[in-house]
Structures are given as structure tokens and as C-alpha cells.
Chains A and B, each alone.
Chain A
Amino acid sequence: MAERKIQDLFGKPIEVVNMGLATMVEPLKAQNVPVADVDWRPPKDGIKHLRFLKNGRSIDEANEEAVARIKKARPVLIGMGLAKDVIPGYKPNLFLHAGPPITWERMCGPVKGAVMGALIYEDMAKDEAEAEKIAASGKIEFAPCHHYHTVGPMAGVVSPHMPVFIIENKAFGNKAYCTINEGLGKVLRFGGMGPDVYAKLKWLQTDLYPILDAAIRSLPNGIDIKALIAQALHMGDECHNRNRAATSLFLRAIAPALARTSKDNESLAKVIEFIDKNDHFFLNLSMPAGKAAVEPAEGIEGSSIVTVMARNGTDFGIRISCMPDRWFTAPAGMVQGLYFPGFSEKDANPDIGDSTVTETAGYGGFAMAAAPAIVQFVGGTPQDAIATTLEMYEITFSEHEGFTIPVLNFRGTPLGIDIRKVMETGILPKINTGIAHKNPGVGGIGAGILRAPEKAFRDAFDAFSQLCK
């Protein structure tokens, strides 16, 4: 590009960004000058615009690289397997959970319930009392799903014999994993316990898993999950709290392969019925697709993009690209939402689950404008849904051209939460989520929205500031 000179401006149409006095705007409009009037707020104390690392590296360039990798990702469902067999580094006593690291003592009710339920499912404990003893004994190794390329909704508990989906990011070759969605209500991921919970888990392992796995593996190119998400966003889903369209699309995509590979029509019919009755079946595909897409953006020097955002029901935690192994945590928030009959906010556990991987990857709550139907969860209007997405553009570094929103004239979804922008604007990410009962064993009791806690972002920002000029 030729060197710019002041006089290059002369003769060009003037277009103005105004920041400050509203009285500056009217005169410009009277002169037919296009104006973008910034709704400026004073930044919080000590929040500076960070632009360069101490070594001179441009943060914007680093972030550009991070979001470019996320956009380039091509997550494809290539098969299934048992956690112990397919998740790299898996150990026989390893139990994964959602969110940042946590000890048994500090785990919330739903995670404890899910761990105990999983011990029974694994035949490592005969009842809940024994399961609790074993969990507290130190013989079980707990680790965040995120440490094992895995994501789990709600409690997110993964145990050795649970079948998981395998998503491969064809652009980078990395893989991500997630269990099968059990449906709503009294289910393990909400901390539900009881014979019916374990029976369903067993059926997933013995019936659904082999049938689905055979069908998926029969497809030479697998199933392109990114394409399904992109289509579902045009059909009223945001692929976090609403997966109805995506689940239908998935079923449509896999149906011929199921028919060809299934040996028993009745078993197949049960599988199809199960998927059809569970609007959230696709959540456990949209989540690992997000994980597979974002993981290559980890570890970029100077990038302030959030690559992990997750909650364990006690703590909320984030990790940013340039510090991929460091968690910044804060107490998990309470969800504002609607409750199933018989439950209220008094019963609710704080925010929980790895499902915020969807917002991290540029859909979920950030694509609310695409899913006006779910604003009913919070008694909002379709305008609120649009406002949510527009607000999230303020804190994201980029827009995902692969995921577009019809009502915003096919604008790409907000992509790449930039901790600098979060702190500069004071706008915290908005999260769509389910609500678990605070006591172990009960299960899901509602759904709603909330904001991520500021402290995690503040701490990450402060640590990041140390690296900057």
C-alpha cells in the first residue's frame, strides 16, 4: 500500500465515528454525513487498551491467527468408542468432570451425584453409600474433561466404560470427545441417580452405541458437524440450549447408514425413537465440534482469545490462548431462568457444565438472534435475542463467516471472546444453560441464562497485562 497522506482525505466523502457528546451528532446528520455514534462508557479502573506484548508482538495479529484457525476448523464425526479405549491417556481410575479442576470435597451436589452414579454404572460400587466412600477415598483420579480433549454437558462426568463420540477436526487432525446425551430430567449429567438412570446408561452402551458407531463408520467421510450447525442456525437453533433442528438434521444425515448397517429393525427403531424424543441429542455433538475447532487456537503467543470457558457447578473457569494451561476461576453464578413444575431457584445449583464451549466457538448464546424461540426461557422477546447477539459482537474479536444469522442479514456469528474487550466494555459473555438441582441424585430442573463472572476475566486480564507493554 502506498504511504498515506493527509491530503488523501481531501475530496472524499466524510463519514464520522462520534464518541462522547450526543450534540455532535445532529449537526452531522443535518449535513447528511453518515455517523456511527458510540455508546461509550468509562472503562473500569486500571483497564488499558493492550495492543503489544513486551517483545513487540501485535496482540491483534496473534488473535487474527487464533480466530483464523477456529474458522478453518472442519469438525467431522468419524466414529464412537469407549472412553478408556479412545481418549488419549485415559486410565482405569480416571473420572472426568466439567469445568476447571476441583477436589471431591468441593464438588457440588450434581457432580458428586454424577460421580457416584458413574461408579455404580462402572460396577465399581454396589450402591450410593459405597460409591460416596470410594469417591472420597482418593482412589479415583478426577480431572477436567478439558484436560483430555473432552467436553461434558452439566456435571460432564465421563467414566472408563462410557461410549463417546469421536470428532476429528479434518483441517488440523486433532480429535475431541463427548458422551451421549441422555435426555432431560433425572439423568446422570444433572446428577441424577437411581436404577432407571443406570439402566438407560447401560442401554446407551450396549444398544445405541454399537448401532450408531457402525452407521457412522460406514460413511467414508463421516458426518460434517460444522455443516449441520450452520444449517441449524438457519432453522431456529443456537446449538446450545436449542438443538431441535440440528438433532433432526443429524437423524436425516445418518438415517440411510443406520438402515444399511443395522441388523435388527426393532433395535434400530428404539435408537431412532430415542434420538427423536431427545431434542438435545445433538448438543453432545455440537459441544465436541466446538472443542475440536477451538483447540488448535490454544497456545498462540500473545493471543487474548478465550479458548476454554467451563463451569463445574462450584467454580467458573476460563483459559486463554497464550496461557493454555492456566485456569482463571471465579465462583460459578446463579442462573436466571424457568423451572420445571415443583422446582424453584431455591433448588438450583450454580452454573455448571462445559457446554459454554459453544459460545467459545462462536454459537450457542452468542447466536441467540438465530434462535428467538428460546428467549421464552427468560420471558424475553425476539428483540432481546437480537440484542444479545449484537452485544456479544462487542466482546468478540471476529465474526464466523461459516455460521451466519439470517435475521442479521446473514452476518457471521460473534467469534473469539477477547478478554481485552470484555474488560474494556465491561460486557460479560452471556450464557444459555440448563439448571441442575443442587442436591445429588435429583437431576435437571430448568433452563435459563446468565452472565459469566467478571473476576475470571479480570484475573486473566491482569495476568495478560503482565506480558504487555
Chain B
Amino acid sequence: MTVKSIIKTSEYHDSVSLMLVAKELVKFPGVQDASVVMGTESNKALLEQSGLLTKEIKTATPNDLMISVKTDGNPDEALAEAEKLLNKKAAAGDALEFRPKTIRSAMKTLPDANICIISIAGRYAAEEAWEALFAGMHVLLFSDNVSKEDELALKKYGRDHGLLVMGPGAGTAILNGVALAFANVIPAGPVGIVSAAGTGLQETSTLLAKNGIGITQGIGTGGGDVKKEIGGIMYIEGLKALQADPATKVILMVSKLPDEEVEKTLLEQVAKSSKPTVICLIGGKTRSDKVPANVTVVSTLEEGALVAAKLAGAKMGDIKAKIASETREAAALAKQLKATLKPGQKQLRALFSGGTLCYESEVIWRDNFDMEIYSNAPLDKHFKMKDSTRSEGNVAVDLGEEEFTVGRPHPMIDNDLRMRRILQEAADPSVAVIMLDVVIGYGAHPDPATELTKAIRKAMALAKAAKRELIFVASVTGTEQDPQGLTRTTEILQAAGVHVMKSNAMASRLAGFIVA
């Protein structure tokens, strides 16, 4: 086994293209492991961990490309293959039309551009966001690691100039029916959503669609917006725009519990409109005693979406009663399923791709099941996992957290990590239930159900071989109109024996009833 590497100086590629190259490279005869990454310190640390860091590439700068292979075969051939793969990508790009190098020149080719999606490394992102704002574009800032000072300055400018600054860390928006970044195909309708939680926007908008209700806009501000330092600037601007928008009849506001001062400002702004407004404070209760009359406050994404759907004219009875009745059905199903388990099988392992969905589930398990649930993103830091890569007890892991996504695509795009984790959990004889969120739509993997069920079938077989049954529970965040299709995705999961519930909240309850 040899490890060999080369530096390609001043050669920049985006991380996803590089990952695709690395993935191809591992298929090359003899190659055990390979890495094709930019020479950042964090990437070097990753290489060191996997034994791919050689003396030669320690000197690489962040503008250099590092290629490293571990192989039984000829390392030079493998490195040559890497270069070939990189060039192949470049050539494919060259065949297309000329690509602008700057936002200004992009505006020359597309003078009416009104949205700029920025997903470059965080330390460069603010500068480019300024360029986009000065060019008069609204900004969807997908990049993380933008400083609070920059975020604040950008958002103040946006506020003063009538421009949205969604993010940093904003992965979802639906504007004028167009799904931006990670978002679903939602029919047009009367509900306007403003959300400070990315998958929260996906879950509520798809739940509306599942209940026959469409949306006007889905504005995702990024989770940092409602924190104290930012003061909810864009959340409030988004809300104002929906209040002023004649097409928006019902407003749905989604957020984790915001800073108390921010909440107060929000409620003041809500009170300025008579439009029916649903405030979904995931896992929290309002601290205000002056909730305006047009406002309903709820604590789960599911309830928020259902109340908004009803306000928008969906034919449904009392929402609380509806949820209660479905919960009873889930409890009955849980009872049946529980009967198949061995006595030692007691634990829940929930493996999430969506951070907000993980959060919502934790809230349900805490509030409705009084469960102690460990997580890498816990509600209470007392329940922080010691090691996110190894589960003990009841666990909810957010695999979309940064610790898992550095140098690797998000689990909504690439299922590898979650598939490996499914098999890891399946090997643990104490596990009763594995729960998954399956997020489809634009931006997500083209067929996550087919990928995940490969691992699910293997996991079930593994358990069976050990004379156990393993229960899989899931929900699908998506719509019929999504490229992957809601029914199609659901059926693929069901065919593999997965119990697919209507919402993440209901899936959490089913899982809760099984292990509680």
C-alpha cells in the first residue's frame, strides 16, 4: 500500500465537482482511498485523519488543489487518472457557453437577474453578497461562516433598499413559485411563509401541499436571523412584504424560539396587519401575554401547517382533534410493531438530514414522551452526545451538522453517510427503531428512497440473521410535483418495509410509542 500525492497550484474547483472526481477515483483499480480537495487547513486535518496527508502536500495553500491516493497499484497511474477526471470536467464546461467570472459580468449577460444564490466559501461570501446587493439583486446566501458583523451590515442595507438577504446558512426559498436551492414544488395558493429554519420551510410548505393548499412565497431567512445580534431584520422585512402582498391571505411564520426581544418586535409587526397569522415556535411557547387576536401560536411544524391550511380554506375539522386521532392510530400501530421486538430492543436511533426536522422530533419526544434523547444538536446541552459518530441510548443525530459536512456533500445530496450509519445502528442489538427523514424536491438527491432502501434492506437482513426484527419509520418531505415524486418515493420505502408517516411529527410519535 502506497500513499502518494501532488499539488496543483492555483487550481480552483468547487467542492462538489472535486467530490465527484474523488468518488470516481476510488473506483480506479487498486485505489483504496483518495482525496481531491483544496489545500485548506481543515482539509489537511481531514487528510491527516485518513492517512492521506503526505509531506509534499503539507505546503499547499488554500488556492492549491491537493490530490492524494492510497493504492495497492501504481500510484502514478492513479494520480494521472485523477488529472484525467479533472480535465474531463473542465472540458465539459468549456463546451458550454462562456461563463462570466464576476457578478458584474454575469449581470451583463442576464441584465434582469433579480436573485443571486451564493454558496462559495464563507470567508469570501460577504464580499460577493455586497456585489449582488449593489447590483440590485436579492440574495440567497447558502454559505455558512459569515461573520455576524457582515450579516448585520448586509441585512441593514437590504432592509434600507428593499432587498432580501436570506442567510447566511439559508438553504431554502420559494419565490414566485420557483424553488431555490433545497426546495419543493409547491402549487400557488394563499399562504405566505417566512421561515428562519430551512427544512422547517420545506416541511410546512409540503404539508400545506399535502392538504391541498398552495403558497404565495416561501422566504427563508436562515436560523441566525432571529438571534439577538441580528434582531430578526430580514424575518421582519419578509413578514412586512407578505403583509403588504395582496395575494397572501394567510401568513405562516416558522422559527425555533427566537430571542425574547426579537419575539416582541415580531409580535408588534404581526399586530400591524389583520391577516390571519400562524406563528410556529418550534418547541417553545410565546413569552408574550399580548398575542394579537389574528394570531395562533403553535409549537410543531405539523400543527403550524395544518392550522394555516385550515385558515386558507382547507376542509378539515378541529386541528388538535385531527392530530389526536392520528396519534391514536400511530399508538395502535406501535403496539403491533412492538410485539415483534426482542426484550432487549429498546432504543431509538433517528438519523436526520434536516436540522429543523431533528429539532422538531426532539421537541415531541421531550414534551409528549418524556424521553431522554441524546443528540449532536440537543435541546438541552446536558443531552449532548459525547461522540456524534457513536450512538448510546436514544439518539437523534443531525447528519447535516457541520461536523459531518466539512469536505463532504450534505446528506440530502449524498446518502452515503446515512447509509453507513444505518448499518452501524442495525448492528446494535439494543436498537428497536431507526427513524429517517426523507427530503425530496429540487436540490436533493435524485432518488434518495432507492439509495436508502439498499441500506435498509441490508440492515433488516443483518438483524434477521441475528434473529431480530428492526423497525424503520420515516416521513417524506415532498410533493407529487417534485422530480422524485411523493407517492413514488413513499412506495419505494414501503416496499422495503418502512413505515411511512404523513409528517415528521407523526413519524416521531410512532417511533416514540414504540420505545417509550
Q: Residues of A with Cβ closer than 8 Å to B? A: 3-24, 27-28, 30-31, 33-44, 48-49, 51, 387, 390-391, 393-394, 421, 424-425, 427
Contacts and interface: CB of A to CB of B under 8 A. Distances in A.
A444 to B, nearest CB: 34
A31 B185 CA distance: 10
Contacts of B128: 19, 40
User: How big is the B interface, by class?
Assistant: 35 or more
Interface in B70-127: 93, 98-110, 112-121, 124, 127
Contacts of A393: 105, 108
A3 B131 CA distance: 20
Interface stretch (B160-168, B284-292, B348-356, B393-401): B160-168
18 contacts: A6-B237, A7-B241, A7-B245, A9-B114, A10-B245, A13-B176, A15-B112, A17-B107, A17-B117, A21-B14, A27-B443, A36-B107, A39-B101, A40-B128, A51-B130, A391-B101, A394-B105, A421-B102
Nearest to A390: B98
Given A6-B241, A12-B114, A40-B101, A24 B119 contact: yes
Given A6-B162, A9-B138, A17 B115 contact: yes
A44 B124 CA distance: 11
B113 A16 contact: yes
Contact of A427 (B12, B101, B109): B101
Contacts of A40: 101, 120, 128
A289 B468 CA distance: 88
Nearest to B159: A6
B175 A394 contact: no
Interface in B235-256: 237-238, 240-242, 244-245, 247
A218 to B, nearest CB: 44
Contacts, number: 167
Interface in B456-476: none
Given A24-B117, A38-B99, 12 more contacts: A9-B164, A13-B112, A14-B176, A15-B114, A15-B115, A16-B113, A17-B117, A18-B116, A28-B178, A39-B93, A48-B127, A49-B130
Given A6-B241, A7-B244, A13-B176, A38 B164 contact: no
A49 B120 contact: no
B245 A17 contact: no
Given A4-B163, A15-B112, A36-B106, A22 B16 contact: yes
A30 B442 contact: yes
Top 7 nearest A-B pairs (CB, nearest first) are A20-B119, A4-B162, A27-B442, A39-B99, A6-B241, A36-B106, A36-B110
A49 B135 CA distance: 13
A6 B110 contact: no
A14 B16 contact: no
Contact of B102 (A3, A18, A24, A424): A424
B178 A33 contact: yes
Contacts of B179: 27, 31
A6 B124 contact: no
A27 B162 CA distance: 27
A4 B137 CA distance: 11
A42 B124 contact: yes
B227 to A, nearest CB: 21
B483 interface: yes
Contacts of B130: 49, 51
B117 A42 contact: no
Contacts of B15: 21
Contacts of B216: 10
B442 A31 contact: yes
Contacts of B16: 21-23
B98 A16 contact: no
Contacts of B105: 393-394
Given A19-B119, A20-B120, A34-B110, A5 B244 contact: yes
Contacts of A39: 93, 99-101
Nearest to A32: B178
B220 to A, nearest CB: 14
A20 B118 contact: yes
B152 interface: no
Contact of A19 (B118, B240, B483): B118
Contact of A41 (B101, B109, B136, B413): B101
Contacts of B138: 6, 9
A14 B241 contact: no
Nearest to A2: B162
Contacts of B163: 4, 6
B410 to A, nearest CB: 10
A17 to B, nearest CB: 5
Contacts of A4: 136, 161-163
A22 B106 contact: no
B217 interface: yes
B142 interface: yes
A51 B106 CA distance: 18
A10 B244 CA distance: 11
Contact of A21 (B12, B109, B114, B119): B119
Given A15-B115, A27-B442, A10 B110 contact: no
B175 A9 contact: yes
B117 A16 contact: yes
B443 A23 contact: yes
Nearest to B446: A26
B175 A14 contact: yes
A214 B216 CA distance: 75
Nearest to A394: B101
A36 B137 CA distance: 13
A15 B110 contact: yes
B3 interface: no
B62 interface: yes
B238 A6 contact: yes
B62 A42 contact: yes
A17 B101 contact: no
A418 to B, nearest CB: 10
Given A7-B241, A9-B175, A17 B110 contact: yes
B26 interface: no
A421 B101 CA distance: 10
B508 interface: no
A353 B509 CA distance: 79
A410 to B, nearest CB: 15
Contacts of A16: 113, 115-117, 180
B63 interface: yes
Contacts of B201: none
A331 to B, nearest CB: 20
Contacts of A36: 100, 106-107, 109-110, 113
A17 B137 contact: yes
B132 interface: yes
Interface string B141-178: 01100000000000000000111100000000001101
